[in-house]
Chains A and B, each alone.
Chain A
Amino acid sequence: MPGLLEEISYDLGAAWAIARKDMKIYYLKPSILVSSLLFPFVMFLAFAIGRNAPPGTLIPGLLAITLLFSASSIEPVSIPIERRTKTFDRLLSAPVSVRAIVLGASLSGAIFASAIGVATTAIGLVAFRTGILHIVALLTGIALTSLCFSTMGTLFAAYRTENVGEVMSLLNLVRLPLLFISGVFIPIASMPAWGQSIALLSPLTYAHDLILFAFDGTTLFGPVADTAVLVLALIIFQAAGALLYQRSRE
């Protein structure tokens, strides 16, 4: 039986192998890359046209939305497809723990979303000549938000089906309301008391708050609290994912 250190090393090695495989098969397709880069541009047009707010102030919100959708969109598609083609059985029958499967699938989404997030930010900064106040907070926010929401996507894909539509419907039931309760469109301070209470439950609230802090220094909870909540949400999603994938091996 391998020791604890050896087991961790096995898990990390397998997770990295799964992430590389997913990147190669799903994320680096030209159609996925182009549509992912166009997504924030289209969202920008949707929110900027007809508003009086300076376009540069839209960047934090757009970045949060981009990270949410880029990170959580591919694994809920790829995992049901792999169940249908029986390639997912390869992972289940290999000497790989479900922790490593969940981490590997999440890592690929996180790396992809982080790259899209960095590209989106760079384009926004150049186009609107805005600045960043806290670069470390921004990079931390991008990385943690990406990993948190890619894990959320992987978690939903634990629903044991070969039908992509079923997983996406469930995911959108959660993902779309998150946009409206997390301060991205409506500032949390402007929400009614019940809305503010719900906002506290959304990881996107803290992701947006951390990104906002990185850009202009304004924050509701502070960067340390935002980071702590995102880490906590990440741990909960990873643990729940591992539990659900373990249970789905009926």
Chain B
Amino acid sequence: MDAIEVIGLTKRFGDNIAVNGIRFRVGEGETFGFLGPNGAGKTTTIRMLTGMTRITSGHALIHGHDIVRDTLAAKQLMGIVSETSNVYDELSAWDNLIFTGRIYHLGKAEIQRNARDLLETFDLYERRHEPAEAFSKGMKRRLTLAMGLVNRPRVLFLDEPTSGLDVQSRRIIRDVVQDLAQKNVTIFLTTHDIEEANVTCDRVAIINRGTIAAIDAPEKLKQTFESLQSVEVSFDTTKPGLLEALRTLPQVNEVRKEGDKFRLYTADPPEVLGSLCVLAKEQNLRPISVTTRGPSLEEVFIRLTGLSVGTKKETGEADAGLA
């Protein structure tokens, strides 16, 4: 059985369609990234999946429990870590966890055991009796994640878990998330940090204007966009007109200067490498580094969401993996 099954999920606000008939499945134990630009429908989707917002039409199932018809059973299986560190500032870290355990209907002994374990895991145990308002941003974020785990969820919704955090908090949170994934907990992650999704997620979905633009493993999505491959070259010196000369090379779609390097976007890196050698010889330039690169997930994301990436518009994007 899938951990999350979304069938034709739609949300309307008046005449505005925020989420338009999206469908996808997330397997048990999978780490699933949900990416999209601001206003694409990420938060609305999470709010519908977690029962916070009413669904206009369609269905969302959590381990087979319909979030509308079987709400309490579905919610009992979830942990939710929202984008805002929504802890009760006036309560201590301990009391925040105890309260959360109570509204998830856990027994007293289980709540206390889980609270102690989580506070130790997130390095907050020593300060458990201090009110949360005295905590730093990173500590509040860790407490928020601890509160999302107090019921030992089988599905964890993480909304921008490491955004704007210090290195220590980021590392603790990433370690815990990786550990949960190994324990077969399903993780539904939304993030603006594309690289985080790239290294963390088994699959990602990219949502744009309320519809799913693509769903696949990060590496497969990258392969879909051959024209986003590039050759990165740095010469020992630079000459006026070099950028224009590079742009005239055959098979080069676009050239961007990035610091002391030039990046040449192409669908055929070997052909461009040959042309580069000829150009360097003609202009008496000595390449000091040459690297071929595949497209990054960020470039795929930008291409799919219609934002400018500095390359010529590619047509025929309906390859495998694109929704």
Contacts and interface: CB of A to CB of B under 8 A. Distances in A.
Interface string B71-89: 1110110101010101111
Given A1-B73, A93-B51, A13 B87 contact: no
Interface stretch (A18-26, A112-120, A163-171, A198-206): A18-26
Interface string A113-147: 00000000000000000000000000000000000
B72 A10 contact: yes
A91 interface: yes
A190 to B, nearest CB: 47
Interface in A163-203: none
B311 interface: no
A97 B72 contact: yes
Interface in A51-97: 85-87, 89-97
Nearest to B13: A250
B53 interface: yes
B95 interface: yes
Contacts of A93: 50-52, 75, 78, 80
A91 B89 CA distance: 16
Contacts of A1: 70, 72-73
A25 B88 contact: yes
B54 interface: yes
Given A18-B103, A21-B88, A97-B72, A250 B53 contact: yes
A80 B91 CA distance: 18
Interface residues of B, number: 30
Given A21-B91, A86-B82, A249-B54, A91 B72 contact: no
A32 to B, nearest CB: 12
A249 B105 CA distance: 22
Given A2-B72, A24-B95, A249 B52 contact: yes
Contact of A86 (B73, B84, B90, B147): B84
Contacts of A14: 102-103, 105
B52 A92 contact: yes
Contacts of B51: 92-93
A21 B99 contact: yes
Contacts of B91: 21, 24-25
A37 interface: no
A17 B91 CA distance: 13
B88 A89 contact: no
A216 interface: no
A2 B95 CA distance: 27
B49 to A, nearest CB: 10
A160 B147 CA distance: 25
Contacts of A95: 71-73, 75-76, 103-105
Interface in A9-43: 10, 13-14, 17-18, 20-21, 24-25
A91 B54 contact: no
A170 to B, nearest CB: 23
24 contacts: A1-B72, A1-B73, A7-B72, A10-B105, A14-B102, A14-B103, A14-B105, A17-B103, A20-B99, A21-B99, A24-B90, A25-B90, A85-B86, A86-B84, A86-B86, A91-B103, A92-B51, A92-B52, A93-B51, A93-B75, A95-B71, A97-B72, A249-B53, A250-B53
Closest 5 CB pairs of A and B: A17-B102, A86-B86, A95-B75, A86-B84, A95-B72
Interface of A: 1-2, 7, 10, 13-14, 17-18, 20-21, 24-25, 85-87, 89-97, 249-250
Interface of B: 13, 50-54, 70-73, 75-76, 78, 80, 82, 84, 86-91, 95, 99-100, 102-105, 147
